[in-house]
Every structure is written in structure tokens, then in C-alpha cells.
Structure 1
Amino acid sequence: MSRFAQALREAGALATTQIAGSLEGTDGPIRDAMIYATTGGKGLRAFLVLESARLHGIGAAQTAPAAAAIEALHAYSLVHDDLPCMDDDDLRRGQPTVHCKWDEATAVLAGDALQTLAFELVSRTECPDAARLELVQTLARASGVAGMVGGQALDIAAETSDAPLTLEQITTLQAGKTGALIEWAATAGPRMAQADTDALGQYARKLGLAFQIADDILDVEGDEATVGKAVGKDAVAGKATFVSLLGLDGAKAEAQTLVEAACDVLSGYGQDADTLRAAARFVIARKN
């Protein structure tokens, strides 16, 4: 197993353990749905938190709450995104979506609880008070109307628009919907260390866009059993994507260019950033 694969697996397990531990003493369908929603993911965002912190001399024990926080927040977004009022999906990570396994009310409440848990977790992160406050504030922005929620709103609006989105509009949309949380995760380490976030911010923005292009490619080339969710929905809906605008080969080439650029901006970290470089290559080679 490569160093990256091991680090990714450990990050996912650490986040899941932190979330489950935070829910000790609770029971019932909401708790069960929260655990269910945070199980089985790649753990990429938790990995980015842990790895960006490691580059700044901060260990996993200090960083674990922040790593769990971003996974809880990401899981909330997926639970709500899958609802009938949004994307109306019945499969996520190869399993029934939360509203299908339980019901819509449970899914809404589990998502709400995961969101609030995320902020509880990040507030426990061991770092200077000013850095912890910045982590909370930037997570709020990344997940709100200026970030993920705003991107999702643009995505929903595009489905009923007469004019398909341009490449620039899709790039802006995905920078919020997908990229904002990835950028928060990759800059959490330098924020904790009260260091410069520029290089890792640039890396994350390129990584996030490459990740979304890879998702668009998987929607065309992937199969449902491997991807773990419905595929081909964008084409059926006539939705503008990176593939529809750039073509399949053009989208693959753009993703590769972004990955190479993401790796290049890490030059200041030398070989210490090799695991982050492996993560960039992973996002466009993955099958789910």
C-alpha cells in the first residue's frame, strides 16, 4: 500500500471514530443516520486537513477534530443534496441514500445535526485561540452562501434556465459547491500554525476543480456499481458540464493540466509534499 493510500485510509477512519465518539450517549434514528452518512467515504477532506497540518509540524492528535469536522460537514451536504427537493438520488457510496433508508424528515434532521456537529468539532481543535476562531469563521464562509450552499443554489437554478451555463459559470459554480470545502481542508494546517496559506490555497483550488471535472467524466464513463451512485444523469437532464463543453478528451486534458499545476505550487515544501501530490493524481485516476 502506498503512503498516500495508507494516509487516506487512516484519515477516513480517524474522522469516523471522532464523529462516533462525539455521539456517545445518544441513540435513535438521527444518530444512526449520522453514523451511516459518515461511513464509507474516501476521507479525502480529512486527509487534506491532517496532511496540511503535518507539513506545518502539527500532529494528528491535535488536528483530528478539524479533520472530523470537515467530513461531518461534507456528509451533511451529501445527505441534503440527495433529497427529492434537490438531486433526488437513491444511491450514495453504493448504499441507499439516507432519505431512502429512513425517510425525508430523518435525512433533513441528520443533515442538520451533522452540520452543527461540524462546528462543535472544529471548536475543539488544539491551536491558538485566534487560529481556532479563524478556522470556525472560514468554515462558515466555505459552507455558506459564499461557498458550498451558494454553489448548490447556482446548480439548482441552472437546471431550469433556458440558457446553458458557460465554462466560466460552471467553474465559478463548482468553486463554491465542491471547491470551497476542499480549500478549507487544505488550508486548515497553515491556519492552525498561523502560517501563510497561499501555496496550499492555490493547490486546493486546482485540486477541487480537477476533482469536479473527474466527477463529470465518471458520470459519462463510470458504471453505477463502481461509482456508487447514479451515472448518466447530467446527459439525460441536458445539463452543461465540463465534458459537454470541453468534450471528453478536452475535459481529461484540462484535469491533467490542473493536477500538474497543483503539484507545481507545492515546490516550496519539497519532498514533504509528495503525499499531497499523490492526492492530486488520485482525484483524476479514481473510479468512484
Structure 2
Amino acid sequence: MHHSYSDIQQKVEDFASLVQKELAQVVHEKAECPSAALHEALGYVISNPGKCIRSFLASTSAQVFGVSTERTLRLSAAIEVVHAYSLVHDDLPSMDNSPIRRGKESCHIKFGEAVAVLTGNALLTLTFELLSTMNEGCAVRCEIIELLSKACGRCGMIAGQMLDMEAHSSTSFEGVRRIHELKTARLFSAACEAGAVLGGASAEERAALAEYGAALGCAFQAKDDLSDAREDGERCYGSMAHILGMDETQGYVDGLLRKCEEHLKKLPGNVDTLGGLVVFVENLSV
């Protein structure tokens, strides 16, 4: 099965445009926010959603089981909103202290730290408002809410951020791998599985997609480490590139991407786009 990087890149970009429109609709729907400052900050963050890889995974996973792109858009928006929440809080001075996010001032630089904290909180709660009001059956909504809340919570993204803050230059390969798994891969995995739930997939199919997403998420984050090391001209302390070196980190990524392809073989239907995402991550300068 041959996948063109340019083809999958175009698909990702086209889907990101759809999600951006859905997010604009979400901001419009929530215009009743009593605080103009909070509403402005929410719009500022939501209007800059990035590549939308996580939501693309959810939508593409659902499409394997015959779900239309249109039907996945509210779920996709919710996934981008919860990802945005994590970035707003990660950028805070008490966390990663990042002044720039996706080429723009971080939320706390633009609006102040207190507003950024509240914006992140508002985005997190908005996520579950969106999920709970999807036009799906109650069981599907509840299952997706459970999946994403676990992926983002005390045993998922938040735990990953905590471990990241506790990490230091002597952190082991296993320590960094665990941070990648919790902070990044859990949401990738949950996005894939949420799409499978939307499509009525079997337990085995859900598990295969969850494993595919987890491996892809770890590969994505390791590529990010490689990109940072190249840009900085040094191997960032505590990163995968620092621990393994550039060549071994690339080998680690390659192994994860081969695992992704193995998991896709367990699925029925057309998995070409999911296979294309393996090529996308392989060629990514994150």
C-alpha cells in the first residue's frame, strides 16, 4: 500500500479547515459568555488550532466504519478544544513558560496569567459540554466522555505534565517514554477509539485503533524531540534525542510506525488514510 506524503498532507489540511469552521461555530454559539475578556481569550485560542492531527485521527477512525465526516465534526471540535486547554496551561510561567504558541503570543502573554488559567479551565469544561450535546445516543456520548476524560485526566495528560515537570537531565529512556505516552499518546489513542465508538466498532477493532493511536502518538512526540534538537543545535536535556542520540531516536520512531502498520492490518474496511498518517508522521518536521 503506497501513500503519498503530499496527498495525506492535503487531506489533513482540508480537514483542519473543516474543523476551524466548526470551532468558529462553537465560538459563535457560546457568545453568551458574560465576560467579554474571557470570550475574547477563548476565541483567540480556538481560532488557532494547528494541524488538527488528533481530531483527524478521530474522524478518520470513524470513517473506517462508514461514518460521514460531517457526523464527526462535533467530536473533532471537542478534541481540539481539550488539546487547546492543555496547551494554554502548559505554556504558563509555572509550567513550561512558553511565550509563543503556533506563531502567536501565548494566551498568558496576550491576556495575562489569571485570564489564561481561567481560559484553560473554560476550554476543559467546554470540551465536555460539546461531547454531552453531540447528536448521538446516550450510550455513545457517555462512552466517549469516559474515554476522553481518562485520557486527559489524572492518569493521562495531566499525569504526563506532572512527570514532565518533575523530570531532569538524568531522566531515563523509560521515564521519557512514559511522559510521551501519558502527555501525548493517550489523547491520540483516545481520539482513535472515540472515532471507533462513533462507528459502532467491535471491542477488538477498538483495541486495534487504540494501540495504533498510542504508537502514532509516541512517534509524533519523539519526532518533536528530534525537531527541537535540530533547531536548538543541541540535544535538549531530558529529551529522547538527548538520551538515545539522533540516529537511535529515529530508529525508535521507525519501530513505532511499523507497529502502527501492524495494528492497521487487524481492521476491516479502508484504512488507507490511517496508513497515510504513518507516512505523514514519518516525514513530519513537527
Q: Would the TM-score normalized by the shorter structure come out above 0.5?
A: yes
The Cα of 1:2 is off from its aligned counterpart by: 4.4
Equivalent residue number for residue 79 of structure 1: 88
Percentage of matched positions with identical amino acids: 34
Q: Which amino acid aligns with 1:204?
A: G
Is it true that 1:43 corresponds to 2:52 in the alignment? Answer: yes
Gaps of 5+ in 2: none
Equivalent residue number for residue 280 of structure 1: 278
The Cα of 1:234 is off from its aligned counterpart by: 7.0
2:18 pairs with one of 14, 17, 34: 14
Structure 1 CA distance, aligned partners of 2:269 and 2:109? 45
1:135 pairs with one of 131, 138, 144: 144
The Cα of 1:3 is off from its aligned counterpart by: 4.1
Gaps of 5+ in 1: 223-230
Is it true that 1:58 corresponds to 2:67 in the alignment? Answer: yes
Runs of 4+ in 1 over 6 A off after TM superposition: none
Q: Which amino acid aligns with 2:252?
A: E
Contact 1:63–1:126 (CA under 8 A) maintained in structure 2? no
**CA gap 1:172/1:99 in 2 versus in 1, 3 angstroms:** same
Contact 2:20–2:49 (CA under 8 A) maintained in structure 1? no
Equivalent residue number for residue 206 of structure 1: 215
The 10-residue stretch of structure 1 (192-201 or 245-254) with the greater mean CA deviation from structure 2 = 192-201
**1:254-273 CA deviation, whole Å, 9 max, x = no partner?**
10121122022111346721
RMSD: 2.0
2:276 counterpart SS class: helix
Give the length in aligned residue pairs: 274
Is it true that 1:5 corresponds to 2:9 in the alignment? Answer: yes
Structure 2 CA distance, aligned partners of 1:4 and 1:144? 31
Structure 1 CA distance, aligned partners of 2:49 and 2:68? 24
Structure 1 CA distance, aligned partners of 2:185 and 2:115? 27
Equivalent residue number for residue 191 of structure 1: 197
- Please report the TM-score for the alignment, with normalisation by the length of structure 1: 0.89
- Please report the TM-score for the alignment, with normalisation by the length of structure 2: 0.89
Contact 2:12–2:53 (CA under 8 A) maintained in structure 1? yes
Is it true that 1:181 corresponds to 2:179 in the alignment? Answer: no
Q: Which amino acid aligns with 2:72?
A: T
Equivalent residue number for residue 156 of structure 2: 147
Contact 1:53–1:63 (CA under 8 A) maintained in structure 2? yes
The Cα of 1:241 is off from its aligned counterpart by: 1.6
**1:179-200 CA deviation, whole Å, 9 max, x = no partner?**
1111111111211233231111
Structure 2 CA distance, aligned partners of 1:165 and 1:179? 19
Structure 1 CA distance, aligned partners of 2:90 and 2:78? 18
**1:126-159 CA deviation, whole Å, 9 max, x = no partner?**
3332121010011111100110001100111114
1:248 pairs with one of 237, 246, 262: 246
Structure 1 CA distance, aligned partners of 2:111 and 2:10? 33
Structure 2 CA distance, aligned partners of 1:123 and 1:170? 34
Contact 2:82–2:127 (CA under 8 A) maintained in structure 1? yes
1:254-269 matches, cutoff 5 A:
254-269=252-267
Contact 1:11–1:50 (CA under 8 A) maintained in structure 2? no
